[in-house]
Structure 1
Amino acid sequence: LFTSGGPGGRPGGAPRPERGRDLETEVHISFEQAMEGAQVPVNVPLSAPCPTCHGTGAKPGTAPKVCSLCQGRGVEAESQGLFSISQPCRKCGGTGTEITDPCATCSGSGQTRQVKRYRVNIPAGVREGGRVRLAGKGEPGRRGGAAGDLYVVTRVAASPLFKRRADNLEVEVPVTIPEAIRGATIEVPTLNGSKRIRVAPGTQHGTVQRLRGEGPPRLGGRGRGDIHYRLVIDVPRSLSQEQREAVDDLAAVIDDNPRERILGGEAKS
């Protein structure tokens, strides 16, 4: 630290207040809690003012004294021509005070490790890795400085059904071969139950249909995302004799080779 002029480097020479450190912790929530919002408890270990000396570091009934080396400035300065080089006082560590009779509880540090318990409001629609800020709930400041903030990182359990994609959800929905060919009205899951959508005749494997406004709430009250349904044609792994005959009848009626479109008409059925 370089300062111009005489020693001290700060008007009045008093040590600056120090803001407390920001803290970060994680909270694990279910997929449903992420969609609906929830209030969850978190336990945060942090340094807090000693309850015995109230943060002074001195034995009750005594008080810290002005540092005899830096005279309360918290820094030592060495003049070098037009400049002075300042560094924290080697005796008081930059506090500007020294404790001759330390508190037995905190050994003169003025702080003890404590566990604080908070209830955190998780907003509806929060994503995996989202951060919720609790202002002033971090480490306490020193010498009158403000406390830091607490950041709660959300870890959202995976849903067995829905996959999150930005503001939307995706889900695979199986459809039968007759439903894909003829079309059908089918029931699909939503966050609040189920709804019915129309499968158009001739629907292809992987076709995506959307329900607007049925997805996760957008943070900040900006409405809701959508749910995207990816239609997956469910092909039976085995057929009964009756089913095989029905498929043979269908194949005889639909006399078409779709591979001709990619092989220039050379494919043979």
Structure 2
Amino acid sequence: MVDEPAFRSFIDWQIDQGSKGLVPCGTTGESATMSIEEHNAVVVMTIDQAAGRVPVIAGCGSNDTMTALAHMKSAQAHGATAALVVAPYYNKPNFEGVYAHFAYLADHCDLPMILYNVPSRTITDIGPETMGRLAEIPSIIGVKDASGNAVRVTAQRLACGQDFVQLSGNDDMALGFMAMGGVGCISVTANVAPRLCADFQSACASGDWDIALELQDRLFPLHTALFSDASPGPLKYALHRMRPDFLPDVRLPMTQPRPPSRVQVDAALESLGLV
């Protein structure tokens, strides 16, 4: 079950520390192991606690188009700002199937949609050509790009246009992503170090690249440590180290990070003065 008091406290902390948006039910939130009812309830809880202070981009993805649509309609009904919708996983649709999935969702729900491209998890890759076609649909406004391919930023800008919002999905690559035209990051590390990540994004947005590089170097050990074992195990361990009221539990088939990962997380937290 979801620890509602701890979750609401976490939302307040994120906003107080400078995070400019919230993304409930993404990968880090273990959406893959939530029931549909629980998933929608967490989105509603986030919207309620945020109370208009920051945008809420609701994770709405599924490898079943109709389930994704149900998530989008629920999020829209409760006041979400946008939906984050991952490319269909496991099914492995071809490019036409990928296009048809997102086009159907846009045709049946006008909640603004941010594509989530993470082929390392989904196998399916939303290529620049398909993304360019999708960008022609008015409600498809951007992408969370976790392809790990830096040249995609330029390729997608050329395919999708200057106004298409490109958000990095890889903390360790966010500096280069921003320099090439990205406008933000849906971050893993910001769950643990929101103030530093907010400062990093502010420096990038202002063109203060020397400051951004300094923050990148400071944050890099934590970026790496949080993926030293299957995510989000190391992240939940890190939060528990910082705030014992945040339990480090993960749901099967995820397990607790192994001892070498914990040592790496501890060292990264200590280097940043977070513990």
User: Which TM bucket (shorter chain)?
Assistant: under 0.3
TM-score, normalization by structure 1 = 0.18
Higher helix share: 2
TM-score, normalization by structure 2 = 0.17
Higher strand share: 1
Q: Greater RCO between the two (CA within 8 Å, min separation 6)?
A: 1
Higher-Rg structure is 1
